[in-house]
């Protein structure tokens, strides 16, 4: 679901980035209030960003030779609230784009809208609705499943509109070449069939664990008085879980194939030739932005791919941990 650069026209990227800015700004404002009411939000925000980052490293195979992955956005919304989840997933997406080349730089606004805005707010909204009807567990599963599929639907529409909004005088696409009647089924097939259930399963399992270990850590609009001992215990469990996920991250390499719509230039060209849709890349894609990330595809030059995966995961954990420490230190100095 990470849209790469050059799949969307610059105009589309600009519109979606502009749409993402007020959501991020509102989330920052809401989370600032949340932190003032509950200081434990700060370390949980870093844990949430790390968890989302790691979850997205575990690809699952999709029939037809592609892959997909969970995101964890609804899970984070249930744990720390939808606004904090929005910031946490955004943080993960920024790291992925700039450090690891996973998702485009120009397309960052689109990816934020899809995975950091639509997914947590839709998922959390369904969860809260089911909770009011006294079906909380059903709401966890339904929110996670619908949230990721809604994000996939919007991503497919963004891609499928490109031949309509960005083409040359001859009507040939300049960017993503697949129309809506191809992008929507292709994206939703894998998410409705597999990725949505993986998202729902992970969300439900973590929800059950937190509810048993530290139920006051589950987010509610009216913050409950936390049990500090259980909060501390939960964070220790989370750090251990994140470390284990980082070590196990190479398992994501077992799923062969690239996610639909995330092909690099060579892979896309091969797809177009195989489907007899063209013998060369659309002009805008061929001459667009080509950003070389420091650890592209989570690889480190000279090291086995699996080791690069683990070190990339640990790097993300360290960045999130240090950012959390900086926020805590800043608040302490202000106080």
Element (H, E) at 49: helix 41-55
Residues 110, 112, 113, 114, Cα dihedral to 10°: 90
Low-confidence residues in the chain, pLDDT < 50: none
CATH of the domain at 24: 1.10.1760.20
Alpha-carbon distances, residue 294 vs 3, 50, 270, 307 (angstroms):
19, 19, 26, 16
Alpha-carbon distances, residue 248 vs 66, 207, 251, 282, 311 (angstroms):
21, 21, 6, 38, 11
Average pLDDT for the chain: 92
Q: Residue 215 falls within a domain, yes or no?
A: yes
Note the pLDDT tens digit of each residue in 169-215.
Answer: 989 999 999 999 999 999 999 999 999 999 999 999 999 999 998 88
Q: Residue 228 falls within a domain, yes or no?
A: yes
Q: Residue 257 falls within a domain, yes or no?
A: yes
Name the nearest CA neighbour of 155 among 288, 1, 283: 1
DSSP 8-class letter at 257: S
Q: Residue 96 falls within a domain, yes or no?
A: yes
Domain range for 80? 10-329
Q: Residue 88 falls within a domain, yes or no?
A: yes
Q: Residue 4 falls within a domain, yes or no?
A: no
Contact 204, 48 (CB under 8 A): no
**What is the full DSSP assignment across 223-247?**
PPPP-HHHHHHHHHHHHHHHHHHHH
- Looking at residue 332, what is its pLDDT? 52
Q: Residue 70 falls within a domain, yes or no?
A: yes
Domain count, the chain: 1
Q: Residue 2 falls within a domain, yes or no?
A: no
């Amino acid at each position: 679901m990470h849209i790469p650069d050059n799949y969307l026209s610059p105009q589309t990227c600009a519109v979606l980035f502009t749409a993402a800015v007020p959501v991020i700004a509102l989330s920052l404002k809401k989370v600032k209030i949340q932190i003032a009411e509950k200081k434990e939000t700060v370390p949980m925000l870093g844990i949430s960003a790390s968890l989302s980052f790691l979850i997205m490293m575990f690809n699952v195979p999709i029939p037809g030779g592609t892959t997909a992955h969970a995101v964890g956005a609804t899970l984070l919304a249930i744990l720390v609230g939808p606004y904090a989840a929005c910031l946490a997933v955004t943080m993960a997406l920024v790291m992925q784009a700039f450090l690891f080349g996973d998702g485009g730089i120009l397309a960052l606004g689109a990816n934020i809208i899809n995975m950091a805005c639509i997914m947590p707010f839709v998922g959390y909204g369904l969860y809260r609705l089911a909770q009011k009807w006294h079906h909380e567990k059903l709401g966890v599963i339904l929110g996670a499943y619908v949230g990721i599929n809604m994000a996939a639907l919007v991503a497919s529409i963004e891609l499928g509109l490109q031949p309509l909004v960005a083409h040359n005088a001859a009507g040939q696409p300049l960017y993503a070449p697949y129309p809506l009647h191809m992008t929507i089924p292709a994206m939703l097939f894998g998410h409705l069939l597999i990725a949505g259930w993986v998202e729902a399963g992970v969300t439900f399992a973590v929800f059950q664990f937190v509810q048993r270990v530290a139920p006051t850590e589950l987010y509610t609009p009216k913050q409950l008085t936390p049990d500090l001992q259980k909060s501390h215990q939960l964070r220790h469990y989370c750090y251990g879980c994140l470390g284990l996920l980082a070590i196990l991250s190479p398992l994501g390499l077992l799923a062969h194939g690239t996610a639909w719509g995330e092909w690099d230039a060579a892979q896309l060209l091969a797809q177009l030739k195989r489907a007899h849709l063209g013998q060369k890349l659309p002009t805008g894609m061929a001459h667009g932005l080509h950003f070389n990330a420091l650890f592209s595809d989570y690889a480190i030059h000279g090291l086995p791919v699996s080791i690069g995966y683990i070190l990339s995961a640990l790097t993300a954990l360290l960045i999130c941990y240090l950012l959390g420490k900086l926020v805590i230190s800043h608040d302490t100095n202000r106080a």
